[in-house]
Amino acid sequence: MSSLSQEQLARHLASLPGWQVEGRELVRSFVFSSYREAVGFAVQVALLAERLDHHPDLLLSYKKVTVRCTTHSASGITEKDLHLAGQISAIAPAAPPSP
């Protein structure tokens, strides 16, 4: 699987609100009203990643979870990352993403 071009990424990002490209990663942060909710979301993402066999980097801070998706074997963002991002967005609460 090869990484996507900037043009391909731009087209796909329109359907993934809140996600941004940072270098070779697809990144989004989610803010919650409590630490417990943030941890619960991080666990849901981890279980989803196991099912899809595609594992993002997760950074958990007090009420915030930052997700970073990349395909290391392709040295960039692939269709697998876009699919994972879409699935993560689907399980996320309706709150707007944080900057």
Helix axes 79-91, 35-52, angle to 10 degrees: 140
pLDDT of residue 93: 81
Q: How far apart are CA 15 and CA 19, in angstroms?
A: 9
Pick the residue with more confidence: 19 or 75? Answer: 19
DSSP H/E element including 85: helix 79-91
Q: Locate the domains of the chain by residue range.
A: 6-91
Confidence tier at 99 by pLDDT (50, 70, 90):
very low
pTM of the model: 0.89
46 C-beta neighbours (distance < 10 Å), count: 12
89 C-beta neighbours (distance < 10 Å), count: 17
CATH of domain 6-91: 3.30.1360.20
**pLDDT score of 31 more than 70:** yes
To 5 degrees, how large is the angle CA 39–CA 44–CA 46?
Answer: 95
Joined tokens for residue 11? 């087209």
